[in-house]
Amino acid sequence: MPITRVIPRNSLPSPRTKQKSYALSSNSSIQTEETNGNNEDNEKLYQRQTLDSVKKSNGSSKTFSTTSTPVTPQSQESRRSMPNDKSTTRRRSKPDLQSAMSSSNGFKQQISTINGWANEKSTNQNNQQQGQSNQGKPKCSLPASICQPGYVTPSKLFNMMGYGLQNQYLLMHAHYLYIIDCRSREKFHDSHIVTAIYWEDALNGNVYISVVERFSEIVLYDDTGIFFNATAEMRRVSSRFALPGSKSCISLDGGFEAFRQLFPFVCTQSDIRSAVDREKFLTIYPSVVLDNQLYLGTGHQATNWKVVRDLKLTHIINISVEHQCVFYDKIKYLHIELEDNEDVFLKDRFNETIRFMNMAFQNPSSRILVHCNLGISRSSTLVLAYLMKTYNATLYESYKFLRHRRPIVCPNLGFLRQLIDFEQDLFSCTYTDPNDQLFH
C-alpha cells in the first residue's frame, strides 16, 4: 500500500502565480457580503466560505486551520462589481439567508415562525373577543351592599322584618326574628328596635335555647356595631346561643345608631314580643330597594297614611285596578290600571314609568313607592325595568339585586318575556336565560 505523506497546510508555500477570483452566483450556499473599506469582515467571510467548501468536498469531519489566504485586490474588485451590491448597507435576500443557515438553525426558525403565527392568531382572537365585549353591554352599576360576613346592614334588617304576603307577615309570628339588644339597660328602656329583647333576659332563660332554635334568624346589636370589635355582652350572648349545629348569630352593621338614623319609626320604648302585641302594634312597611329613594310594596301600604308619612314618600306609582290613589293632595301619582295576567302588554309603559321616576329623582329628597296589589308581579316588573335602564343591568343582575331586597318578587311569565325583550332593546343582545334557576 502506498505511503501518503501529510504536509501541514501552514507549511505550503505561497503561490507565485496570480490567483483567480470568482464571482459567486445567486444560487451559491453563501452570498458574499461587502462593506467598502471593511477588509476584516471580508476576511472572516472568506474563511467561513473556504471552511464550508472543504467540508462539502471531503465529506468528512477533519479539523482545519482557520488561517486562510488573504483576499486579493482582484477578488475585491470582482465582488464590488456584483450587480446586487448597490449599497454600502449589508443586505441578504430571504432565500440566501435560509440557505446560509445550518439545519438546526433552520429548524429553530421554523418553530419560531410557527409559534409566532400561533401567537399572532391567538392575539387576533383575543382582540376580536375583546372588541365584541367592548361593543356589548356596559358595566353594571347597581349599588352593592358592602357588609362583612356575619353582619347585616340596617336596610337588610328592615326588609327582613317586612318579608311576607298580605295578612301573612312573618314579623307577626313570635318566632320569626330573635333580636337581642346588647347595650345597657338604660339605653334599652330609652329606645330599642321593635320586638328586641334585653341581653340579660335572654341569658337568664326567659327564652330557652330550644325555643331560640325555632327562630329564622338571631340578630345581635350594640351601640356602633364596629367590625370584629364586639362588646363583652355580645360575645357572651353569641357563645350562649351559637352552639354546635345551631344557627349562628349575625350582628347589625353600624349598631343601633345606624339603624335609628334610617328607620326611627321602627324603634320603640315598648316591649312588643308576643303574637298578640305584634298584631296590635306592629306596622309592616314596604321593602327598601334603594336607600332613601325607592320602595316596593303592597296596595294596602300605599293607602296607609302612617306608612306614607314614616317613609316620607313624595311619589307613588300605582299599577293596579284593585287600589285607588287616595292622597292626591299630598302625593304625585302615576296610575297604570292593568291586571296581573300573562297576556297583558306592560312593556310599552316601561319608558313612561322610567321618565316619571327620573323626573322625581332630580330632587334629592324625593322618595317613590311602586306598588300593585301584593308587590310581587306587576310592580316588581316596573322596578326591574327601571334598574335595567338606569344601571346598565341585565335582567339577571337586576332580578338578583331585587330578590336580595324582597325575596317574594316574581313577575308572571308574560312579564318575564317582555323584560327579556327589553334587555334586547337596551343592549342589542340577550344575556339572560329565562330557564335559569333564579326565576323558578
Are 375 and 298 spatial neighbours (Cβ–Cβ below 8 Å)? yes
Phi, psi of 32 (to 5 degrees): -65, 135
Report yes or no: 53 and 59 within 8 Å, Cβ to Cβ: no
Domains of the chain: 141-284 (3.40.250.10), 286-440 (3.90.190.10)
Q: Establish how many alpha carbons lie within 13 A of residue 118's alpha carbon, considering only the half-sphere containing its beta carbon.
A: 6
User: Is 372 annotated in the active site?
Assistant: yes
Whether pLDDT at 126 is above 50: no
Beta bridge partners of 217: 177
DSSP states along 330-373: T-EEEE----S-TT---GGGHHHHHHHHHHHTTSTT--EEEE-S
Q: Are 394 and 432 in contact (CB under 8 A)?
A: yes
Listed residue (299, 288, 285, 282) closest to 376, CA to CA: 299
Which is nearest to 164 in space by CA: 387, 368, 406?
A: 406
Cα Rg, the chain, nearest whole Å: 43
Angle at 315 between CA 309 and CA 319, to 5 degrees: 110
- State yes or no: pLDDT of 29 exceeds 50: no
Please report which confidence band the pLDDT of residue 148 belongs to, taking 50, 70 and 90 as the band edges.
confident
Binning pLDDT at 50, 70 and 90, where does residue 280 land? confident
> Which element (helix H / strand E) includes 286?
none
Are 20 and 72 in contact by the 8 Å Cβ rule? The answer is no
Confidence class of residue 135 from pLDDT cuts 50, 70 and 90? low
11 secondary structure, DSSP code: G
Enter the C-alpha cell of residue 229. Answer: 370589635
Task: Give the phi and the psi of residue 221 in degrees, each rounded to 5.
Answer: -150, 150
pLDDT at 46 over 80: no
Strand-pair partners of 251: 151, 220
Q: What is the DSSP string of 220-256?
A: EE-SS--TT---HHHHHHHHHH--TTSPPPEEETTHH
The full DSSP string for 402-434 is HHHH-TT----HHHHHHHHHHHHHHHSS----T
Of the listed ranges 54-63, 365-374, 375-384, the least confidently predicted one is 54-63
Contact assessment for residue 195 and residue 178, using Cβ atoms and an 8 Å cutoff: no
**Active site residue: 182, 249, 325, 372, which one?**
372
For residue range 401-429, what is the model confidence (pLDDT) as tens digits?
A: 999 999 999 999 999 999 999 999 999 99
At 84 the pLDDT is: 46
Q: Please check the confidence at residue 279 and state whether its pLDDT lies above 60.
A: yes
**pLDDT tens-digit profile of 331-363?**
999 999 999 999 999 999 999 999 999 999 999
Query: How are the residues of the chain apportioned to helix, strand and coil, as percentages rounded to the nearest 5?
Result: 45, 10, 45
Task: Yes or no: say if 269 and 195 are a contact pair by the CB < 8 Å rule.
Answer: no
Print burial letters for 302-331: b (CB count within 10 Å at least 16), e (below 16): bbbeebbeebebbbbbbbbeebeebeeeeb
Q: Which amino acid is at 264?
A: P
Average pLDDT taken over every residue of the chain: 76
How would you class 266 by CB atoms within 10 Å of its CB: exposed for 0-12, middle for 13-18, buried for 19 or more?
buried
